[in-house]
Amino acid sequence: MKQSGVTVWFTGLSGAGKTTITQAIEKKLREHDYPVEILDGDIVRENLTKGLGFSKEDRDENIRRIGFVANLLTRHGVIVLVSAISPYREIREEVKARIGDFVEVFVNAPLAVCEDRDVKGLYKKARSGEIKAFTGISDPYEPPLNPEVECRTDLETLEESVAKVWQGLEERGYLRKPVSV
């Protein structure tokens, strides 16, 4: 049975848990021999979209470029895990429409929880004015209206979030069912 590719797009505020869930899902997929790649927003910004800033136009272009790469991989049967804040709903919808095989995962945690988890000190810098146009503080985050999966990382364990994503992929037919002999 040929593996269907899919882009699993994890969106949410900085510190919500996107990278943590993405890495756990990647590990589980690899354990089950699925072809998988991660496109992490921070790593993509360092390598593929380095020249882009944080204006709305640049953020949208960043998401388009991530979506372009995700689409190429998805078409070739890869499960692509995208972990990117992607704050604007319209560009997420544009990328979703272009890719087609797309599962949106809203990694949802209240702003206060994200600020408490802020290991990089970004929220503190944003609150002091050191970082301008920071998502959730001085720039908007538009949550998905109808995500296929929602992980409430302030209310559930990592294992529960991973199980929700896995179930979402199974229900949509993106994970091979075991063949009984």
Please give the positions annotated as active site: 86
Neighbours of 159 (CB within 10 A): 9
Q: Are the C-beta atoms of residues 55 and 133 closer than 8 Å to each other?
A: yes
* Nearest residue to 152 (alpha-carbon basis) of 105, 96, 115, 85: 105
Cβ burial of 128 (10 Å; 0-12, 13-18, 19+) is exposed
Instruction: Return the ∠ at Cα 25 (arms to 19 and 31), rounded to 5°.
Output: 135
Element (H, E) at 37: strand 36-40
